[in-house]
Amino acid sequence: MDHVEFGKYLSQQRELRGMSRDEVSRVTKISPSLIAALEEGQVERLPTRVFVVNYIRSYATVIGLAPEDALLRYEEVSKATPELSPVALERERRRRAWVVLAVLLLLVLLGVGAYVALVVNGKMPAPLPG
Protein backbone atom coordinates (compact mmCIF):
# COMPACT_ATOMS: atom_id res chain seq x y z
CA MET A 1 0.00 0.00 0.00
CA ASP A 2 1.25 3.49 -0.85
CA HIS A 3 -0.02 6.98 -0.04
CA VAL A 4 -2.38 7.05 -3.03
CA GLU A 5 -3.95 3.72 -2.03
CA PHE A 6 -4.22 4.89 1.58
CA GLY A 7 -5.97 8.06 0.41
CA LYS A 8 -8.37 5.99 -1.69
CA TYR A 9 -9.09 3.85 1.37
CA LEU A 10 -9.98 6.96 3.38
CA SER A 11 -12.18 8.46 0.67
CA GLN A 12 -13.97 5.12 0.09
CA GLN A 13 -14.68 4.80 3.81
CA ARG A 14 -15.97 8.37 3.89
CA GLU A 15 -18.19 7.80 0.84
CA LEU A 16 -19.55 4.53 2.27
CA ARG A 17 -20.77 6.57 5.23
CA GLY A 18 -22.40 9.14 2.93
CA MET A 19 -20.20 12.07 3.94
CA SER A 20 -18.69 14.72 1.70
CA ARG A 21 -15.20 16.19 1.94
CA ASP A 22 -16.76 19.49 2.92
CA GLU A 23 -18.61 17.88 5.85
CA VAL A 24 -15.41 16.25 7.10
CA SER A 25 -13.56 19.53 6.67
CA ARG A 26 -16.22 21.49 8.55
CA VAL A 27 -16.34 19.08 11.51
CA THR A 28 -12.60 18.44 11.78
CA LYS A 29 -11.57 22.04 11.01
CA ILE A 30 -9.04 20.61 8.52
CA SER A 31 -8.91 22.73 5.36
CA PRO A 32 -10.59 21.23 2.27
CA SER A 33 -7.29 21.37 0.37
CA LEU A 34 -5.59 19.25 3.05
CA ILE A 35 -8.48 16.77 3.06
CA ALA A 36 -8.11 16.52 -0.73
CA ALA A 37 -4.32 16.06 -0.47
CA LEU A 38 -4.78 13.34 2.15
CA GLU A 39 -7.39 11.48 0.09
CA GLU A 40 -5.39 11.81 -3.13
CA GLY A 41 -2.11 10.71 -1.54
CA GLN A 42 -0.38 13.98 -2.41
CA VAL A 43 2.28 13.83 0.27
CA GLU A 44 4.08 16.91 -1.04
CA ARG A 45 1.03 19.05 -0.22
CA LEU A 46 0.78 17.79 3.37
CA PRO A 47 2.50 19.26 6.43
CA THR A 48 4.90 17.34 8.66
CA ARG A 49 4.08 13.87 9.95
CA VAL A 50 2.90 14.93 13.41
CA PHE A 51 0.12 17.03 11.85
CA VAL A 52 -0.84 14.32 9.36
CA VAL A 53 -1.18 11.75 12.15
CA ASN A 54 -3.55 14.07 14.02
CA TYR A 55 -5.49 14.79 10.82
CA ILE A 56 -5.94 11.07 10.20
CA ARG A 57 -7.05 10.50 13.79
CA SER A 58 -9.61 13.30 13.56
CA TYR A 59 -10.75 12.31 10.06
CA ALA A 60 -11.25 8.68 11.08
CA THR A 61 -13.19 9.64 14.21
CA VAL A 62 -15.54 11.92 12.26
CA ILE A 63 -16.37 9.32 9.61
CA GLY A 64 -16.85 6.57 12.20
CA LEU A 65 -13.67 4.61 11.52
CA ALA A 66 -11.51 3.32 14.36
CA PRO A 67 -8.65 5.87 14.52
CA GLU A 68 -6.19 3.15 15.58
CA ASP A 69 -6.95 1.11 12.44
CA ALA A 70 -6.49 4.11 10.16
CA LEU A 71 -3.23 5.05 11.90
CA LEU A 72 -1.90 1.50 11.63
CA ARG A 73 -2.55 1.57 7.88
CA TYR A 74 -0.85 4.95 7.65
CA GLU A 75 2.17 3.66 9.60
CA GLU A 76 2.54 0.84 7.05
CA VAL A 77 2.54 3.39 4.25
CA SER A 78 4.92 5.82 5.89
CA LYS A 79 7.40 3.05 6.76
CA ALA A 80 7.40 1.93 3.14
CA THR A 81 7.88 5.51 1.88
CA PRO A 82 10.79 7.36 3.46
CA GLU A 83 9.97 10.94 4.40
CA LEU A 84 12.12 13.70 2.94
CA SER A 85 14.26 15.57 5.42
CA PRO A 86 13.62 19.30 5.96
CA VAL A 87 16.83 20.04 4.07
CA ALA A 88 15.71 17.92 1.11
CA LEU A 89 12.27 19.56 1.16
CA GLU A 90 13.84 23.02 1.14
CA ARG A 91 16.13 22.01 -1.72
CA GLU A 92 13.10 20.77 -3.68
CA ARG A 93 11.20 24.02 -3.01
CA ARG A 94 14.15 26.07 -4.25
CA ARG A 95 14.50 23.91 -7.34
CA ARG A 96 10.81 24.43 -8.14
CA ALA A 97 11.16 28.19 -7.63
CA TRP A 98 14.06 28.29 -10.12
CA VAL A 99 12.04 26.30 -12.64
CA VAL A 100 9.12 28.73 -12.33
CA LEU A 101 11.49 31.69 -12.70
CA ALA A 102 13.12 30.14 -15.79
CA VAL A 103 9.72 29.49 -17.41
CA LEU A 104 8.61 33.10 -16.75
CA LEU A 105 11.86 34.44 -18.18
CA LEU A 106 11.44 32.25 -21.26
CA LEU A 107 7.89 33.54 -21.76
CA VAL A 108 9.07 37.16 -21.50
CA LEU A 109 11.87 36.51 -24.01
CA LEU A 110 9.44 34.84 -26.40
CA GLY A 111 7.09 37.82 -26.12
CA VAL A 112 9.89 40.31 -26.81
CA GLY A 113 11.10 38.16 -29.71
CA ALA A 114 7.62 38.00 -31.20
CA TYR A 115 7.25 41.79 -30.88
CA VAL A 116 10.63 42.41 -32.56
CA ALA A 117 9.76 39.96 -35.36
CA LEU A 118 6.46 41.77 -35.97
CA VAL A 119 8.18 45.17 -36.07
CA VAL A 120 10.94 43.92 -38.42
CA ASN A 121 8.40 42.36 -40.80
CA GLY A 122 6.35 45.57 -40.88
CA LYS A 123 3.29 43.98 -39.23
CA MET A 124 3.53 46.42 -36.35
CA PRO A 125 4.70 50.04 -36.27
CA ALA A 126 8.12 50.68 -34.76
CA PRO A 127 8.13 52.42 -31.39
CA LEU A 128 8.56 56.17 -31.48
CA PRO A 129 12.07 57.40 -30.65
CA GLY A 130 12.22 58.71 -27.15
Q: Are 56 and 3 in contact (CB under 8 A)?
A: no
pLDDT-derived band at 13, boundaries 50, 70, 90: very high
Number of domains in the chain: 2
What is the predicted pLDDT for the residue at 99?
Answer: 95
What is the predicted pLDDT for the residue at 43?
Answer: 87
Residue 42 and residue 10 share a domain: yes
Mean pLDDT, to the nearest integer, of 71-76?
A: 93
Residue 66 and residue 53 share a domain: yes
Q: Does the structure show a pLDDT above 70 at 130?
A: no
How far is residue 83's CA from residue 67's CA, in Å, rounded to a whole number?
22
Residue 110 and residue 61 share a domain: no
pLDDT tens digits, one per residue of 20-43: 999 999 999 999 999 999 999 998
Q: Residue 7: which residues within 8 A CB-CB, separation 6 or more? A: 38, 39, 40, 41, 42
Residue 68 and residue 33 share a domain: yes
pLDDT-derived band at 78, boundaries 50, 70, 90: confident
Domain end (from 80, 102, 122): 80
